[in-house]
Structure 1
Amino acid sequence: MMEPYEAAVEGALSTLRAARTSLINEISAYPRPISGCDAQFNHLLSDRTRISDAINALQNRPFVPTPRVMEPGAASESR
Structure 2
Amino acid sequence: MSGLPYEEALAEAQSALERAKALLLDELAEYPTPISGCDAQYIRLISDRTKIGSCLRVMEEQPFVATPRVLEAG
Fold-level match, TM-score > 0.5? Answer: yes
TM-score where L is the length of structure 2: 0.83
TM, length-normalised to structure 1 = 0.78
Alignment of 1:1-79 (within 5 A): 1-67=2-68
CA contact (8 A) 1:35 1:42 kept: no
% identical equivalent positions = 47
Greater RCO, 1 or 2 (C-alpha within 8 Å, sep 6+): 2
Q: Number of residue pairs matched?
A: 68
Deviation >3 Å, runs of 4+ = none
| Residue segments in structure 2 that go unaligned for 5+ positions in a row | 70-74
> How much is the aligned-residue C-alpha RMSD, in angstroms?
1.3
